[in-house]
């Protein structure tokens, strides 16, 4: 059986912990372990822009002794008439794993449906599970645990980060609160899937529209851009409704506790987050970005070791 990572619940709670433990090992020692020596090749394909994901996969695969093959998906035959399934069959004959950043989740599901090698979601419109693995690693290193902590996500409650925080956080046994304006609430399927996972772990998922109430007692605050890639021209007002959800000093103070602030980046300074928070003492954002490297190395090695 081939293991894929298309969404956060493709890892069980115990498997998620195994990956996070391995990620901490790689953070402590970046270069000794070479499980991809040979080398194994990994195709890393982008149909949207990327700084962190591209760099962290390319560097991480090389550190593991592997051969990263970075491709602009828009220049592939995939960008013309070749089907996703035929592309996947070709990739399975050349490389040992595929990492793909694309648009609709159904595209990466089509890639995985015929793949003989692991497929990893490097961001779709619906999920960003590699980011949330790094977020969980970061939170666990600050707070010493995940289960039982409260994480509040503020912003677009229906985007990839919101969905992955709900599903990945619930997998870790966290209490997840989503705070989003009217019209940008989580979709019902995403709430249902995350609550199903939370029921297994003792976590919870709730929607709290008032941002000040949503952050009360929160151990972690997470935000993201109000306009995700592909939404630039969707005709919706993606500023006005979000202003009360800005992560600024006053909102951080409203937690009433020592909190940790995360943002997957790129940040739109002065919009969803202010400079004083992003660069301030509660921010773990730069460590979070670095942890993409360690978490993805761990994920890749885990998927390859657990596939047959
Ligand atoms: N956070 C994140 O995925 O960053 P990039 O878009 O730069 O890869
Ligand atoms: N929600 C953002 C995340 C960027 C890493 C987007 O999809 O553009």
What pLDDT, on a 0 to 100 scale, did the predictor assign at position 204? 99
Do 138 and 122 belong together in one domain? no
Whether 3 maps to a domain, the answer reads no
Sequence ranges of the binding site: 50-53, 77, 101, 128-131, 160, 224, 228-229, 264-265, 292
Q: How far apart are CA 266 and CA 247, in angstroms?
A: 15
Q: How far apart are CA 271 and CA 239, in angstroms?
A: 8
Do 42 and 115 belong together in one domain? yes
**222 within ligand 2 shell (Cβ under 6 A):** no
Could you tell me which of 102, 99, 97, 101 has the C-alpha nearest to residue 118? Answer: 97
Q: How far apart are CA 168 and CA 10, in angstroms?
A: 10
Give yes or no: 30 in active site.
Answer: no
Do 110 and 226 belong together in one domain? no
Domain count, the chain: 2
**229 within ligand 2 shell (Cβ under 6 A):** yes
Q: Kindly report the average pLDDT of the chain as a whole number.
A: 98
Q: What is the CATH number of the domain that holds 151?
A: 3.40.50.1370
Tokens of 169: 């956080």
Domain range enclosing 201: 130-288
Beta-strand relationship, 204-207 and 41-46: unpaired
pLDDT digits (tens, 9 = 90+) for 65-74: 999 999 999 9
Residue nearest to atom 7 of ligand 2 (CA): 228
Whether 2 maps to a domain, the answer reads no
Do 283 and 181 belong together in one domain? yes
pLDDT digits (tens, 9 = 90+) for 135-176: 999 999 999 999 999 999 999 999 999 999 999 999 999 999
Question: Is ipTM strictly over 0.85?
Answer: yes
**121 within ligand 1 shell (Cβ under 6 A):** no
SS3 helix, strand, coil % of the chain, rounded to 5?
45, 15, 40
Do 166 and 249 belong together in one domain? yes
Catalytic entry in 16, 63, 131, 296: 131
Whether 156 maps to a domain, the answer reads yes
Q: Which of 54, 223, 265, 267, when mutated, tests ligand 1's pocket best, judged by the most ligand atoms within 8 Å of its CB?
A: 265
> pTM for the full model?
0.98
């Amino acid at each position: 059986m081939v293991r894929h990572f298309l969404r956060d619940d493709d890892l069980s709670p115990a498997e998620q912990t195994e990956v996070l433990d391995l990620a901490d090992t790689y953070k402590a020692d970046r270069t000794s372990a070479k499980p991809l020596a040979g080398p194994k090749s990994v195709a890393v394909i982008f149909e949207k822009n990327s700084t962190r994901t591209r760099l962290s996969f390319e560097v991480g695969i090389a550190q593991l002794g592997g051969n990263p093959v970075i491709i602009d998906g828009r220049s592939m035959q995939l960008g013309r008439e070749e089907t996703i399934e035929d592309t996947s069959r070709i990739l399975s004959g050349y490389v040992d794993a595929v990492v793909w950043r694309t648009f609709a989740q159904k595209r990466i599901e089509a890639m995985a449906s015929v793949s003989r090698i692991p497929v990893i979601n490097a961001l779709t419109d619906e999920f960003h599970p590699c980011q949330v693995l790094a977020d969980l690693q970061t939170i666990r290193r600050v707070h010493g645990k995940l289960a039982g902590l409260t994480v509040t996500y503020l912003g677009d409650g229906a985007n990839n980060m919101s969905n992955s925080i709900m599903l990945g956080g619930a997998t870790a046994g966290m209490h997840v609160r989503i705070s989003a304006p009217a019209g940008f609430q989580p979709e019902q399927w995403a709430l249902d899937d995350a609550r199903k996972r939370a029921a297994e772990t003792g976590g919870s998922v709730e929607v709290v529209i008032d941002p000040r109430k949503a952050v009360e007692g929160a151990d972690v605050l997470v935000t993201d851009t109000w306009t995700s890639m592909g939404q630039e021209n969707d005709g919706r007002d993606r500023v006005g409704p979000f202003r009360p959800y800005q992560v600024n000093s006053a909102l951080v103070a409203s937690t009433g506790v020592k909190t940790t602030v995360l943002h997957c980046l790129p940040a739109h300074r002065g919009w969803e987050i202010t400079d004083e928070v992003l660069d301030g003492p509660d921010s773990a954002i730069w460590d979070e970005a670095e942890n993409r490297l360690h978490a993805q190395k761990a994920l890749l090695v885990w998927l390859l070791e657990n596939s047959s």
